[in-house]
């Protein structure tokens, strides 16, 4: 069998540096420029995404503040309506005896009106009889 060299058996060595390029290793300048451009564009994209998310949160905060104000206004209106309804109920209760008197007066007026119609009809009949008797 043929003997293989040590580097063929072990393969290429990996750098332990945090950079993808060793300072003294020859590298492709075009690849370096492209990598730098890619990282810059990725950073720009991520910055844009974060700025957009930040603007979304600002909008949500403004909407929440507007909602808080609107609900506060609605609470004040509801409180005023409740107070007004309570006042109206108290006034209605205080007017209740007068309303009952008005109902009684209305019933009396209806009865008087019916009695007046009956009296009118009776007086017309009497007048007719009187005229009839007068002619005799």
Give the sign of the dihedral formed by CA 39, CA 40, CA 45, CA 47: positive
Q: How confident is the model at residue 134 (pLDDT cuts 50, 70, 90)?
A: confident
Q: Cα dihedral angle (28, 34, 36, 38), rounded to 10 degrees?
A: -150
* Predicted pLDDT at 95: 96
Both tokens of 51, joined, read: 């700025």
Q: What is the mean pLDDT of residues 54-60?
A: 97
- Tens of pLDDT, residues 110-123: 999 999 999 999 99
Q: How confident is the model at residue 59 (pLDDT cuts 50, 70, 90)?
A: very high
Within the chain, residue ranges assigned H as helices are: 6-10, 29-135
**pLDDT tens digits, 73-120:** 999 999 999 999 999 999 999 999 999 999 999 999 999 999 999 999
Sorted by where each begins, the domain ranges of the chain are 27-135
Q: Taking CA 35 as the corner, what is the angle to CA 29 and CA 38, rounded to the nearest 5 degrees?
A: 145
């Amino acid at each position: 069998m043929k003997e293989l060299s040590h580097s063929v058996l072990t393969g290429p060595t990996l750098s332990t540096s945090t950079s993808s390029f060793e300072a003294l290793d020859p590298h492709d300048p075009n690849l370096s420029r492209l990598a730098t451009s890619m990282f810059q564009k990725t950073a720009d994209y991520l910055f844009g995404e974060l700025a957009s998310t930040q603007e979304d949160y600002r909008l949500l905060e403004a909407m929440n503040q507007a909602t808080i104000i609107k609900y506060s206004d609605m609470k004040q209106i509801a409180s005023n309506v409740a107070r007004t309804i309570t006042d109206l109920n108290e006034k209605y209760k205080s007017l209740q005896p007068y309303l009952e008197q008005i109902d009684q007066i209305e019933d009396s007026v209806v009865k008087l009106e019916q009695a007046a119609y009956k009296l009118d009809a009776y007086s017309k009949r009497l007048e007719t009889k009187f005229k009839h008797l007068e002619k005799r």
